[in-house]
Amino acid sequence: MKTNKAAHIVWIAALVSWLAQAGGSAAPVTIESLKITGTTYTLVVVPVQSGEDDTYMGTCTRFTVHGLYWFLDGAFLKQPEMLSREGHLAALAYLQDSFENRRVVNFGGFASGFEPIEAGKPCVVLSRALLLMEDEQGRDVMSFHNAI
């Protein structure tokens, strides 16, 4: 049992390191609203440090994500193993609990984590999968849209 836990810790550390190097980042946000139906959701967040230029949220004062669990754009029917339906649902459960308890969460994207729905409206986006990541510094919810 200890071997599995150690292997899990090493895997998570490697994943976090890889995500950081490959262009993933999260910023503290408050959740203004969250509606979940199965694996589909609409999430509205407000960056805690309003006005700062975040990699994914830009200078949006409110950031709306329309998401679902689906194959990443360009993945050609093969989802990366780390992006499971169960993991997506776990991230949604964490967001729901944070919303109900009014906790700030770290939320962001990886690579092309979001896709704007309309040109000229960068604060309303699509997401195709969520991943809840946890390390010694806390938890982050990361969005994925395009194939990695």
- The per-residue pLDDT for 74 is 64
At residue 137 the predicted structure's pLDDT band, cuts being 50, 70 and 90, is confident
pLDDT digits (tens, 9 = 90+) for 100-121: 999 999 999 987 789 999 988 9
What would the pLDDT profile of 13-67 be if each residue is shown by its tens digit?
A: 444 444 443 457 889 999 999 999 999 999 999 999 765 667 778 889 999 999 9
Domain residues for the domain of 61 are 2-144
Tally of structural domains, the chain:
1
The number of residues making up the chain comes to 148
Q: Could you please report the per-residue DSSP string of the chain?
A: -HHHHHHHHHHHHHHHHHHHHTTEEEEEEEEEEEEEETTEEEEEEEESSTTS-BTTTBT-SSEEEEE---PPBT-TT---TTS-HHHHHHHHHHHHHHHHTT--EEEEEESS--EESSTT-TTEEEESEEEEEEETTEEEEEEE-B--
Q: Tell me the whole-structure pTM to 2 decimals.
A: 0.79
